Structure 1
Amino acid sequence: MSAEQTTSAVTSLVLPDWAIVSDKRRAHIQRVVALLERWAGELSLPDAERQAWIDAGRWHDALRDADEPTLRAATGDTERPYGMLHGPAAASRLAAEGESRQAVLDAIRWHTVGSLEWDQVGRALYMADFLEPGRTFMQADRAFLADGVSGAFDAVFRQVVRLRIEWTIREGKGLAPETVTLWNHVR
């Protein structure tokens, strides 16, 4: 990654050349990064960890608007629903380009379903992706949770996992095995 690509200022969001994102998706990414930057500041994270949070947020949806054949070819996955492939595809691409921070790659790879193996980077991204203020549902509840991350990180994470599972079930979608495993661990 170039020095320009590691810029963390939300106003100058720089994505990889291979990113496939609409303007709407870019705005979502900017809101996710803004939350991650805010929480990292509130938690007084060391610079390297702060940058890992920001990079995970910046790259998590880099291929969200890619078409299904592109994502299936990038991942080799013929089983998972199309909407779950953009994280693994982006993580694979980043690794191929030399990204070596496993926590960042795992956060991106599993941000749609969750992972029991995550450290704080993955958990922070999972929360920010759900709690970013541009989403139109449960705005007051989600804002309350977002405001509580720095004071009760683990408790808010557990609540976000629960809310995401409830939404998935309400929408009639299946739960990924990783999501069930994560819930059984945090409940």
Structure 2
Amino acid sequence: MTDNIQYHEHLIPLTREQLLNKLDNALSAGRFAHVQRVEKVAMDMAKRFGADVEAASIAGLCHDYAKQRPDEDFIAVIKQKKLDPELLNYGNAIWHGVVGAEMVKDELGVQSEDILDAIRQHTVGGTYMTKLAQIIYMADYIEPARDFEGVDRARELCQSNLGAAVAYQTKHTLEYLIENNQPVYPQTLLTYNAWVPQYRKDL
């Protein structure tokens, strides 16, 4: 079914086949398989929650486009585009989403801010997230190869309560960072405050 999806030029100037070829060249075999799994989950969720299925396909495939780029590529983009200099204190885990969206825009021709925001926010969330952004955030977290304590509950929430699912992931991501003495990107804390208290009865 996904092979027949037609992309509209206002979203991306590539066919799905052209996009897959570019991703295949940019990613390892394992990462390439991951983005295709995320695409499928995202499209299913878009149908369930009434989001744009075509945009979900593109965002699902492109969310990790920059994941395997060298650090200097990200640093160059942060400086050239005058992005928040605070980003320089972090690394690929943050950069491949927040900065990677700029590469998706410039190198793959994606102009849709909805898609770009979903890519920007898939690692750190946002105080406001469109339905598409929520879907990509969750599809990446629950795709079939994910296997960690709590993933079944996340999948369950993704069937019926998207906002609670976002809150659940955000809470567990923050707990993980704290337990492992990792730095917390400030946006992650803002995302936590915006989503977790609001859905605390559903978690």
Q: Same fold (TM over 0.5)?
A: yes
Compute the displacement of 1:18 (Å): 9.3
Compute the displacement of 1:15 (Å): 5.3
Tell me the equivalent position of 1:163.
172
Tell me the equivalent position of 2:7.
none
Aligned CA RMSD, in angstroms, stands at 2.4
The answer (yes or no) to whether the contact 2:67–2:92 under 8 Å persists in 1 is: no
Quote the Cα distance in structure 1 between the aligned partners of 2:121 and 2:173.
14
Over the matched positions of the two proteins, sequence identity in percent amounts to 24
Write the deviation string for residues 25-62 of structure 1: whole angstroms up to 9, x where unpaired.
Answer: 1121122112112212233x26xx11112211110101
Which residues in structure 2 correspond to 1:133-172 (within 5 Å)? Answer: 133-138=144-149, 141-172=150-181
User: TM-score scaled to structure 2, two decimals?
Assistant: 0.76
The change in CA–CA distance for 1:149 and 1:13 in structure 2 (over 3 A counts) is farther
Gaps of 5+ in 2: 1-11, 80-86, 198-203
Count of aligned pairs between the two proteins: 177
Does 2:141 correspond to 1:130?
Answer: yes
Quote the Cα distance in structure 1 between the aligned partners of 2:105 and 2:55.
14
Q: Which amino acid in structure 2 is aligned with residue 55 of structure 1? A: I
The answer (yes or no) to whether the contact 2:154–2:165 under 8 Å persists in 1 is: yes
Does 2:88 correspond to 1:85?
Answer: no
More helix by share: 2
Compute the displacement of 1:179 (Å): 0.7
Structure 1 residue ranges, 4+ long, deviating more than 3 angstroms after superposition: 15-19
Quote the Cα distance in structure 2 between the aligned partners of 1:13 and 1:147.
31
The answer (yes or no) to whether the contact 1:75–1:85 under 8 Å persists in 2 is: no
Gaps of 5+ in 1: none
User: TM-score scaled to structure 1, two decimals?
Assistant: 0.82
The alignment partner of 1:94 has SS state of: helix
Tell me the equivalent position of 1:30.
36
Which residues in structure 2 correspond to 1:1-187 (within 5 Å)? Answer: 1-5=12-16, 14=20, 16=22, 20-43=26-49, 45=50, 49-76=52-79, 78-96=88-106, 98-138=109-149, 141-186=150-195, 187=197
